[in-house]
Chains A and B, each alone.
Chain A
Amino acid sequence: MVGAIIIGDQTGAMEDKHSPSRFCSYQAPWASMELLGKSPIARLAEDLKQDCDVVSLISNDRDSQHGNATHQGSIADLAADRFEDYKREGLGTVLIVQCGSYVELDVAEMLNFHEVRGVGVTRAFSEHAPLDIWMVDLSGLPDHVPPLSTLLRTTPAMYHSQGYVNHLRTAREFRRLVLDSFHSRCRLRPQGSEIKPGIWSCEGAQIERSARVVAPAFIGRAVYISAECLITRGSNVESNSRVDFGTAVEDSTILPNSYVGIGLDLSHSIVDGRNLLNLRHNVNLEITDPVVMRQNTVGGVHRQSWASIEAGSMALSSAE
């Protein structure tokens, strides 16, 4: 039996000197931001559910409303607790993923490699760098399990993953993942249905007749695209957002619950409510004028919380 622990560590609790901060992103970890209808973390959790018998999410997410969210202690403690639980439950191997990157991992292949090598710990590597993914053999551990961080620093077997990797360390990498998905350079597929070749639209999305959407593009759940708008060149408008009359959105991402005003020219940017990150000029602006940009007050969640990622019987713990 294989178990998995996904750690959404924003505090660096698992950090070591060889693996610098993975959460140097724009406001929140990029992996937790909605991207083409669903956050990379949620996609990872879903993927792992197919290969693993039990999947646990551990985070310090403040948004989490789950029952376990009141658990006191650090992420590292929670991870260690869950680790011991798995050992008690008789799981043979545990996959530990410290979330930050988007990785298309072949779990079965890594497990096979891990078993053949017969080493206690296997770490996944991409072409050039170690990934925050470990496979740990529980049966070989003593009754008193050593601290997880110590365990993960032991010399591991090196498993080279051939799958797609995006480290999601920067806004540019976030945008690259959007474009890679549009151009089928990775397995990540936009949510919703493909209403025209290269144009995806989710439930409740409204696009006015005089608005033009040019492929590839993504229109998320309950998004409203007003008349005379243009959405083009790999742009994605995420759930509950609104693009007002005559605005052009080019090579940009509009994150959930954002309002983009009338007659604007938004290009090479990421918008999150009042925040505008322009990738061409490398400028991060807070737009104070609500006529131009603001948080869209119409329902929905600002970003995908861990509670919303939790699906089915998946356990969720939070240090907050």
Chain B
Amino acid sequence: MLTSGPVVVMQVPEVLNVKEVRNFMDELGPLLESNRPRIVLDCSQVRSMESAGVEMLLRCLEEVLKRDGDLKLASLSPEAEVILELMRVARVFETFHTCEDAVRSFNAIPAEAVPQNTPWYSDVFSELGVVKQAS
């Protein structure tokens, strides 16, 4: 089943320290527990991020992946970009220039939903099967 809720875009606070992480998680926590959570974090306002902030992002990603969802980062401020690179986690996240791009990326049709063309040889194999059974 491919049903899922809408994509939720959330603004990450300017300073992501231990206190702000707690407040932010109060808002984000319930979303993480939904079915196939699809979350975009707008990082345009981020000016400073402590290791607690990076840990929170990783924890969120882990949670959404467990529930077959995804978490994407958008509009990364240069500060956020530098911190994520510094802490070696920049490559873990899918990032987008804008929130719109990130949201759109969720709406791309998943591969399993695309009807597959039956290969030309499948008919041949089924005919062979009939012949085999008859003999």
Contact = CB atoms under 8 A, between A and B. Distances in A.
B51 A291 contact: yes
Contacts of B81: 281, 283
A265 B79 contact: no
Contacts of A300: none
Interface in A255-288: 263-267, 276, 278, 281-283, 285-288
A202 B78 CA distance: 35
B87 A265 contact: yes
A292 interface: yes
A289 B50 contact: yes
Given A281-B81, A285-B48, A288-B50, A263 B88 contact: yes
Contacts of A283: 78-79, 81-82
B51 A292 contact: yes
Contacts of B79: 283, 285
B108 interface: no
B86 A265 contact: yes
A285 B83 contact: yes
Contacts of A263: 87-88
B33 interface: no
A267 B78 contact: no
B17 interface: yes
A285 B17 CA distance: 14
B89 to A, nearest CB: 9
Given A281-B81, A281-B82, A286 B87 contact: no
A258 to B, nearest CB: 14
Contacts of A282: 78
B101 interface: no
Nearest to B89: A265
Nearest to B47: A285
Contacts of B83: 285
A264 B88 contact: yes
Nearest to A267: B85
A265 B88 contact: yes
Interface string B41-73: 000000010111000000000000000000000
A265 B86 CA distance: 5
Contacts of B78: 278, 281-283
A194 B87 CA distance: 31
Nearest to A293: B86
A282 B82 CA distance: 10
Nearest to A292: B51
A252 B79 CA distance: 17
Interface of A: 263-267, 276, 278, 281-283, 285-289, 291-292
Interface of B: 17, 48, 50-52, 78-79, 81-83, 85-88
9 contacts: A264-B87, A265-B88, A281-B81, A286-B48, A288-B50, A289-B17, A289-B52, A291-B51, A292-B51
Given A265-B85, A289-B52, 8 more contacts: A265-B87, A278-B78, A281-B82, A283-B79, A285-B82, A287-B48, A288-B48, A292-B50
